[in-house]
Amino acid sequence: MALVVTLALVVFVIIAHLASGRKPEQKRNIQAATVMVAEVVQKDIPVELRAIGRVEPYARVTIKSRVNGELQRVHFREGQTVKSGDLLFTIDPRPFEAELQEAKARLARDVALAKKAEKDLQRNENLVKGGYVSEEQVEQTRANAEALKATIEADKALVESVQLQFGYCHIRSPITGRIGRLQIDQGSMIKANDDVGMVEIVQIMPIHVHFSVPELHLPDLKRYQAQGPLRVAAVIPSENSPPEQGELTFMDNEVNQQTGTIRLRGTFANRSTRLWPGQFVKVILTLTTRTNATVIPYQAIQKGQSGEFVFVVKPDFTVESRPVSVNMTREGEAVIDKGLTPGEQVVTDGQIRLFQGAKVEIKGTPRGKGEETK
């Protein structure tokens, strides 16, 4: 028994001796956690709403013929960009040209008859004074002259109508836009106002982007829109280019009761034609800009039982767990309403080993900077 006690004492002395031989510096190095930090800064941050939008043409026109006839010629290529007034189709104008000539000839004949009737009326009015013609004859001549005047007006209307029909044989583009697929071939017989259009033209400069946002944003939308035009950006997911810039031009007059959203529309100049009808884009609607906002990287935010917090690095290289109030997040940044002061440092990486009062070593900081870093 005495031998066992003696051996235990020897082991204890050896362990105590080894423990007393450790250097304080080594112990402190084991306790220090390596972290990455970022400075709390102040800067202007835009207040934005984000949604998925669909590109739609500024205008969409279906071309139809107003007259019957043979499609004599097509003056464009499918997919071509045309300008307002460009000739698109020619329908055989010869039947309408012949009808126009006939109408003009009828007008000329009736004008000549009307002139003769006027002269007859003047002559009879002079003869009735001498008793050479009766009053009844004068009235008849006057009626003939008036009837011919009405006939002339009808002839003029007919000439104008046929001229319109003749003009409809040459179909021109009403807008500047891009031609779609041709629905009828050259040489086919065309029916006036057919249910199927001949071709469709869409205007893409400018162009619209339609999108919806939750109705809870409606008060902010109305308030900021009353202060001036709101900027809208369209991000094309498949491209790395900067977003297209436009302006909010329409807000629907009611909330969709089924989805609880309000429909909006942005208008874009689209001079580079990057936006294409039917395309889906990411929409960023800027409501206003918060000036001098307190901003930190979003990865510094931690979530606990009491809410959101961050680890703040103090001058002695220990950390403080501090609750924060996050107002909004944007592109990897968090806007802080309260809890932080510009110039402070918050931990952005390595939080898993931290606790209140833990010592840290900032990654990238020289080892000789202060005893606390050792």
> Can you list the domains of the chain with their CATH numbers?
31-43+292-373 (2.40.420.20), 48-58+203-290 (2.40.30.170), 69-91+170-197 (2.40.50.100), 93-168 (1.10.287.470)
Cα 282 to Cα 262: distance, rounded to the nearest angstrom: 17
Environment class of 176 (CB within 10 Å of its CB; exposed 0-12, middle 13-18, buried 19+): middle
Which candidate, 270, 236, 266, places its Cα nearest to that of 248? 266
**Amino acid identity, position 63:** I
What are the phi and psi torsion angles at 115 (to 5°)? Answer: -65, -45
Cα 351 to Cα 305: distance, rounded to the nearest angstrom: 16
Tracing tokens 């990865």 back to the chain, one arrives at 299
DSSP string, 52-113: EEEEEEEEEEEE--SS-EEEEEE-S-TT-EE-TT-EEEEE--HHHHHHHHHHHHHHHHHHHH
What are the phi and psi torsion angles at 90 (to 5°)? Answer: -125, 120
pLDDT digits (tens, 9 = 90+) for 209-245: 999 999 999 999 999 999 999 999 999 998 888 999 9
How many C-beta atoms lie closer than 10 Å to residue 89's C-beta? 22
pLDDT tens sequence for the chain (374 residues): 444 444 444 445 444 444 444 444 444 444 688 999 999 999 999 999 999 999 999 999 999 999 999 999 999 999 999 999 999 999 999 999 999 999 999 999 989 988 888 887 777 777 766 667 777 787 888 888 889 889 999 999 999 999 999 999 999 999 999 999 999 999 999 999 998 899 999 999 999 999 999 999 999 999 999 999 999 999 999 888 899 999 999 999 999 999 999 999 999 999 999 999 999 999 999 999 999 999 999 999 999 888 999 999 999 999 999 999 998 888 899 999 999 999 999 999 999 989 998 999 998 654 434 344 33
Which candidate, 199, 54, 171, 167, places its Cα nearest to that of 100? 167
